[in-house]
Amino acid sequence: MPDVDALFRLPGASRRDPEVEAWFFDLTDPFRLIAREWFLRIRACGPDVTELLHDGRPTACVGDAAFAYVNAFSRHASVGFFHGAALADPAGLLEGSGKRMRHVKLGGDVDEVALADLITAAYQDVRVRLPC
């Protein structure tokens, strides 16, 4: 049985948040552009994907249950997963040692197919965790 209590809820999420779009607006930051590409893929997971800025970074939810985020730093971008520790990661992309969260660093070569699979898996995982 999925751990429903572990869901991280963000009730302010909406279908499209203008603050998320504004975060990506700095077109001179190559890592924000990379993060934007992956956030577009996250948005495309399903019609129930919502978004908001949480802790200053674009975050995607299923309804109000967070499942993924992106961030940009001075030397890389990242895609993070709120329940990343529960995801199968045969390509070994996930980093982190927390109880639940994991992330993938972007900025060098990354297995794009494996990362896309992780995004899909994270979306599906949270959908299963949600009560009917």
Instruction: Check pLDDT > 90 for residue 3.
Output: no
| Per-residue confidence (pLDDT) for residue 108, from 0 to 100 | 79
- pTM here is 0.93
Q: Specify the pLDDT at position 5.
A: 56
Q: Which two tokens stand for residue 109?
A: 């070569």
CB atoms near residue 17 (< 10 Å): 17
Q: Is the pLDDT of residue 6 over 90?
A: no
pLDDT at 22 over 60: yes
Q: What confidence tens digit (pLDDT) does each residue in 60-115 have?
A: 999 999 999 999 999 999 999 999 999 999 999 999 999 999 999 998 789 999 99
Please list, residue by residue across 30-48, b when 16 or more beta carbons sit within 10 angstroms of its beta carbon and e when fewer do: ebbebbbebbebbbebeee
Q: Which domains does the chain have, with CATH numbers?
A: 4-129 (3.90.1150.200)
> Considering only 40-44, 71-75, 105-109, 118-122, which range has the smallest mean pLDDT?
105-109
